């Protein structure tokens, strides 16, 4: 069964460093999302992406965050200058159309020291 | 932000019995509701969904009920199995495919 994949599974970085989290959505999907879950808190929406544009973003998704679909398969989340509070599990999701269910990847655990 | 709330952080059920997980929401714009199951160190796995035009949707052992007037949904698992032990999240969106707003999760433990 097709699935969303994410790399790396774990990333440790120093505060102020840039990180790029990678996702390979399900191959024929067209809508892509990033969510995060800080330890002990709810899963929170960050951003949605369609047709090479951000279609929706939350207040969490400030100028230090960016997303890109650099080729036909990858979908990336970049955090330009990481902060301690960026430590979280980051989940990528994709869906074929807006009427379909979002399918999630296994997540990347980011730890900012 | 408490737009979607799961008031029970945990639930323990005997194998073979019914598990009922509850979820409340406040945003009247939500019209699409989902349940996800999550194991530690994994992403949420989709279980079942329901749109606001329905009040019940069934898929095998899983049934979701939606009470729009009460802004309440529930997930019934019958019969419960030890492999169902996980954290269950309800999520809602204003339109399928839009951003999901998640509840805090309920940890279900099914005892053999």
Residues 6+ apart with CB under 8 A from A20: A76, A77, A78
Is the model's pLDDT at A1 over the cut of 80? no
Q: How much is the pLDDT for B101?
A: 94
Over residues A37-57, mean pLDDT:
92
Query: Is residue B5 within 8 Å of B72, Cβ to Cβ?
Result: no
| Position B1 pLDDT exceeds 70 | no
Q: With CB atoms and an 8 Å threshold, state whether A103 touches B46.
A: yes
Q: What is the pLDDT of residues B52-93, one digit of tens each?
A: 999 999 999 999 999 999 999 999 999 999 999 999 999 999
Q: Specify the residue for token string 């067209």.
A: A30
User: What value does the mean pLDDT of chain B take?
Assistant: 94
Over pLDDT 70: what percentage of chain A?
99
Band of pLDDT at residue A101, cut at 50, 70 and 90: confident
B1: tokens are 């932000």
Chain A: which residues have CB within 8 Å of chain B? 4, 6, 31, 33, 35, 41-45, 48, 56, 58, 91, 93, 95, 97-107, 109
């Amino acid at each position: 069964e097709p699935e969303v994949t994410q790399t790396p599974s774990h990333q440790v970085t120093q505060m102020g460093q840039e990180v790029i989290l990678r996702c390979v959505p399900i191959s024929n999907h067209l809508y892509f999302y990033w969510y995060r879950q800080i330890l002990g808190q709810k899963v929170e929406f960050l951003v949605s992406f369609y047709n090479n544009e951000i279609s929706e973003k939350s207040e969490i998704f400030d100028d230090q965050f960016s997303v890109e679909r650099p080729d036909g398969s990858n979908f990336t989340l970049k955090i330009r200058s990481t902060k301690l509070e960026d430590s979280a599990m980051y989940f990528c999701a994709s869906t074929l159309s807006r009427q379909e269910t979002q399918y999630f990847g296994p997540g990347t655990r980011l730890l900012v020291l | 932000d408490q737009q979607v709330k799961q008031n029970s952080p945990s639930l323990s059920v005997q194998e073979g019995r019914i598990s009922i997980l509850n979820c409340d929401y406040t945003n009247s714009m939500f019209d699409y509701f989902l349940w996800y199951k999550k194991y530690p160190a994994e992403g949420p796995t989709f279980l079942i969904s329901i749109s606001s035009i329905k009040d019940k949707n069934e898929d095998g052992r899983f049934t979701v009920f939606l009470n729009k007037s009460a802004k309440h949904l529930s997930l019934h698992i019958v019969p419960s199995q030890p492999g169902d032990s996980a954290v269950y999240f309800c999520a809602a969106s204003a339109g399928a495919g839009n951003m999901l707003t998640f509840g805090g999760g309920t940890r279900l433990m099914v005892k053999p």
